[in-house]
Amino acid sequence: MKLRLLTGIVALLACCGVTGASTPTLKDAVQINNSAGWQIYPGQGYRYGPSMIARPGGSLDAWFAASCYDGVHWDQIRYRHSNDGGHTWVQPDDEVVITPTDGSPDKCSNCDPGAIRFGGYYYVGYTAVASVDGNSNHVFIARSKDPRGPYEKWNGKGWGGAPAIFLRYTGDPRKWGCGEPSFVLKDGKLYAYYTWSGAFVNLAVCNNPFVDDWPAHMALKGHVISHQSAPGEDSVDVKYVDSLKRFIAVASYNRIFSVNATISVWQSADGVSWTRTPFRGARVQTGAHNVGISGNEIGHIDGKTQTYLGYSYGWPGKDWTGQAFGWANWATFMDPVTISTTTFGLPVQVEVKSAPTWDTSGPNAIDGNAKTYWSSDKHETADSEEWAYVWLGARYAVNALKVTPAPNGTGFPVDFTLQYSNNAKTWTDIGAYTNYTNPGSRPQVFKFPSTITAAYFRIRAAKLSADDQGKYALRLAEITTLSSSAVKGDK
C-alpha cells in the first residue's frame, strides 16, 4: 500500500510529529528515485565528484577531479562533453582545464569541482590546498567563457594571475578544512554550499553576483547541514527543483569502499533549514562516494532534461580489475533519477549488523522493491544475533512497522524484538516475538501498543531460520514505518 500525505489533522500530525529538528515548512518530502545506469570511467586512476550541467537534447557538460600523474601535484580538474546524456563523449575528451598554480595557495591540489554558468561565464569552484599534509583546505574559484577554458582564477580583486582564497577555512588547522563547493542561482542571489571539516555543510550568499568582483561580496551564513560522522557522509551537491519549489541536496552515505554505500537526500524551502528525505530505487555501486546531481546552467532542475547522479566507486579491498585494492583507483558511474514527493516520517537510511555482499546489502531493505532483499552473514547455528534498523532523519510519531520478508520468507526470524531509540545506542523494547510462524512473502504489519515518537526503529533477531543449505541468516526485503492513517487501512 502506497502512503500518501493526508490533509487536515493527519497532515499536521505528520509534520508536527518531528521533534529535535526544525519543523518542516514544506507539506511533503522529496524522494529521489534511482534507476540502474552505466559506467563512464573504468578506473586506473579516478574521475570523482562530477559537477554536471544538462541541457535539452542530451547535451551534458561535466567536470571531474582527476589524478595528475606528474609526481608533484595531486589533483586537477578535467572536463568532458556528451551529446547523448553521458553514453558517449565528444572528442577531444577528458581535457585538463584547471591545474594547481605553483607557489600559490592552491599549489598542491585542485579537486571537487562545482560548476555554474551565468553572466556569460562558466564558474568552477574547487577545493585546493597548499599544505603537504592535506589539511586546511580552502575553496577557490575560476571562470571561463568556454567550458574547456582557458580559465582565469579569482585573485582576490579580479580574475587572472596568482589565485586567492574564495571561501576561507578558519577552523582547526589540523583538520581537513573546507571545500567541495556547489552553486545555485535563485532570485538574483548566488547560493554557495561547501563542506566544513567533514562535519558540516556551510552556506555563503552573494546578493549581487552580476558584478565582476562578486566573489569579494559573499555573506557567510555558517553551518546549515550536519553530516553523519559514522558511518560516514561526504560532500554535498545542491540544486533547486523548480516544479517542487525547493532546494535539494545529495551526498554519499556509508561512503567509500562499503558494500552498504548509498545516497543521502535533504530538502529545504529556503536553502537554509534542511530536512532529510528518502532515496529509493536501484542501488548505487559498491563503495560509492563523492556524488553529484545534474542541473541546468544555474543549478536548477527544471524538468526539461533527464536528471542524473554521478559518482565514483570502488570494490572493498580490491581495485576495478579484482586485484588487491589501491588508493585512488576508482571507476565512475552515472544513474538516471526521477524526483517525486512522499510523506514525512519514512526511513531515510538503514544500518545492519552485517552485509557480506553488495547485491544483498543493507540499503536493499529500504529501496522500495520487494524483489530485492538484505541478507546478513550466514551462521552455523540459529541462536545468532543479527539486526537492522531504519533511521527517519529526525523524530517522528510512528504507530507501526511494516516488514516485508525476503522471497518465500527465507531468512525471516524465529525469535525477535522490535525496538526504538533516539540515538541508535540505547534501545527500548516495543514488543518481543517467539517461535514466529514463517509468513512466506507476505508483508507483516506490527502495530504498536501506542504511538511512539522516535528517530530509529530496529528489528533485533535472537534466533534465525535456516536456508536451503542449512545455514542461518536474517533476510528482509523491506522495512518501513506507518502512520496512524496508514495502519487503519493496511491489510
CA distances from 341 to 334, 399, 485 (A): 22, 21, 18
pLDDT exceeds 80 at position 15: no
Query: pLDDT confidence of 468, banded at 50, 70, 90?
Result: confident
pLDDT exceeds 60 at position 20: no
For position 238, what pLDDT does the model report?
Answer: 98
Specify whether the CB–CB gap between 375 and 360 falls below 8 A: yes
- pLDDT tens digits for 194-208? 999 989 999 999 999
Q: Under CATH, to which class is 29-342 assigned?
A: mainly beta
What is the architecture of the domain spanning 349-489?
A: Sandwich (2.60)
CATH 2.60.120.260 domain residues, the chain: 349-489
CATH 2.115.10.20 domain residues, the chain: 29-342
For position 322, what pLDDT does the model report?
Answer: 56
First to last CA, the chain: 9
- pLDDT tens digits for 317-336? 655 455 444 578 889 999 99
For position 328, what pLDDT does the model report?
Answer: 81
Q: Is 174 helix (H, G, I), strand (E, B) or coil?
A: coil
β-pairing, 279-281 vs 29-34, is parallel
For position 231, what pLDDT does the model report?
Answer: 81
pLDDT exceeds 60 at position 102: yes
Distance CA 16, CA 10 (A): 10
**Which pTM was predicted?**
0.92
For position 14, what pLDDT does the model report?
Answer: 34
Nearest to 205 by CA among 193, 191, 225: 191
Query: pLDDT confidence of 382, banded at 50, 70, 90?
Result: very high
pLDDT exceeds 90 at position 316: no
β-pairing, 386-405 vs 262-268, is unpaired
Q: Is 321 helix (H, G, I), strand (E, B) or coil?
A: coil
Average pLDDT of the residues in 91-103:
96
pLDDT exceeds 50 at position 425: yes
Average pLDDT of the residues in 144-160:
98
Mean predicted lDDT score pLDDT of the chain: 91
Nearest to 184 by CA among 272, 106, 299, 273: 299
| Residue partners of 394: CB distance under 8 A and separation at least 6 | 18, 19, 20, 21, 275, 276, 455
For position 8, what pLDDT does the model report?
Answer: 32
For position 321, what pLDDT does the model report?
Answer: 52
For position 314, what pLDDT does the model report?
Answer: 83
Distance CA 123, CA 57 (A): 23
Distance CA 318, CA 429 (A): 40
The percentage of the chain sitting over the pLDDT mark of 70, rounded to a whole number, equals 91
Nearest to 17 by CA among 453, 469, 489: 453
- Among the residue ranges 66-80, 324-338, 376-390, 423-437, the one predicted with the least confidence is 324-338
- Among the residue ranges 9-13, 156-160, 372-376, 487-491, the one predicted with the least confidence is 9-13
CA distances from 43 to 61, 66, 287, 325 (A): 20, 11, 13, 12
Query: pLDDT confidence of 159, banded at 50, 70, 90?
Result: very high
Distance CA 490, CA 409 (A): 20
Cα of 175 vs its chain's centroid, Å: 22
For position 318, what pLDDT does the model report?
Answer: 57
- pLDDT tens digits for 206-232? 999 999 999 999 999 999 999 987 788
Q: Is 282 helix (H, G, I), strand (E, B) or coil?
A: coil
